[in-house]
């Protein structure tokens, strides 16, 4: 995965459009540098994380966000637990259930710049906030187990809700909320069990709410979405 992240941005030029999609396990670890609003670094957990370690948000940011040159664009679609700000992007879109939103400034107090080198970076994250878990579910496709956030993103595009970032985000949230009533019959506890092993926590009901972060604020209802 680390090699693939470096490959993605290698030789990136103005006009390039990059996409990073991850669907798998994620976790958190205590941050001691003071550059996280919630005091925790978010992480991705590849299959060999027990021997090779987790991939921390600081590394992801330094590898695929900071190098982006002016004129280049990166979209990340991250479907894992605790992934609300896993790209460490400076601005977080806090949206309520009525579609009203504000951009929260998540720039670290240390003054360290977590944005790009002039390019554009936008992330749809894991179907969950930093303190929430993500899940596989059969409640959405009715056929097979899928990542809830990934499925809802694809469905939003296929159903014609992909004109702006705001429309995509609202459509994704609607899909997951509608499926939430089938939670007991569809969503699995595997991601929470993994997180329990990693953090020593306990298993609780899974909650999901797709999130949007970016290197700079924008009007989510007028900015056209394009890959």
List 12, 81, 93, 128, catalytic entry? 81
| DSSP code at position 53 | -
Lookup result for tokens 């949007």: 212
List 12, 25, 45, 82, catalytic entry? 25
**Is residue 25 flagged as an active site residue?**
yes
Type and span of the H or E element at 120:
strand 120-125
Instruction: List CB contacts of 33: < 8 A, sequence separation 6 or more.
Output: 110
Angle between helices 148-158 and 165-180 (to 10 degrees): 130
CA distance 113 to 100: 28
**Is residue 45 flagged as an active site residue?**
no
Residue 205's closest CA among 144, 135, 151?
135
CA dihedral sign, ordered 8, 215, 55, 129:
negative
Q: Is 90 strand, coil or helix?
A: coil
Identify whether the C-beta of residue 134 lies closer than 8 Å to the C-beta of residue 128.
yes
Kindly list the catalytic residues: 25, 81
């Amino acid at each position: 995965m680390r090699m693939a992240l470096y490959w993605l941005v290698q030789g990136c030029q103005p006009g390039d459009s990059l996409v990073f999609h991850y669907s798998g396990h994620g976790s958190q670890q205590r941050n001691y540098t003071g550059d996280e609003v919630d005091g925790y670094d978010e992480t991705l957990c590849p299959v060999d994380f027990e021997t090779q370690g987790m991939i921390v948000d600081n590394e992801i940011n330094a590898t695929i966000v900071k190098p982006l040159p002016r004129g280049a664009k990166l979209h990340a679609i991250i479907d894992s637990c605790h992934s609300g700000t896993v790209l460490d992007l400076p601005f977080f879109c806090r949206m309520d259930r009525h579609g009203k939103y504000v951009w929260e400034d998540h720039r670290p107090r240390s003054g360290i710049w977590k944005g790009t080198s002039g390019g554009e970076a936008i992330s749809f994250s894991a179907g969950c906030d930093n303190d929430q878990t993500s899940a596989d579910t059969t409640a959405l496709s009715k056929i097979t187990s899928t990542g809830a956030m990934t499925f809802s993103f694809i469905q939003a595009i296929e159903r014609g809700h992909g004109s702006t970032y705001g429309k995509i985000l609202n459509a994704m949230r609607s899909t997951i909320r509608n499926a939430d009533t089938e939670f007991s019959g569809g969503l699995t506890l595997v991601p929470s069990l993994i997180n329990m092993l990693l953090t020593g926590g306990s298993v609780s009901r899974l909650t999901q709410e797709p999130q949007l972060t970016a290197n700079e604020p924008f009007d989510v209802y007028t900015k056209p979405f394009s890959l």
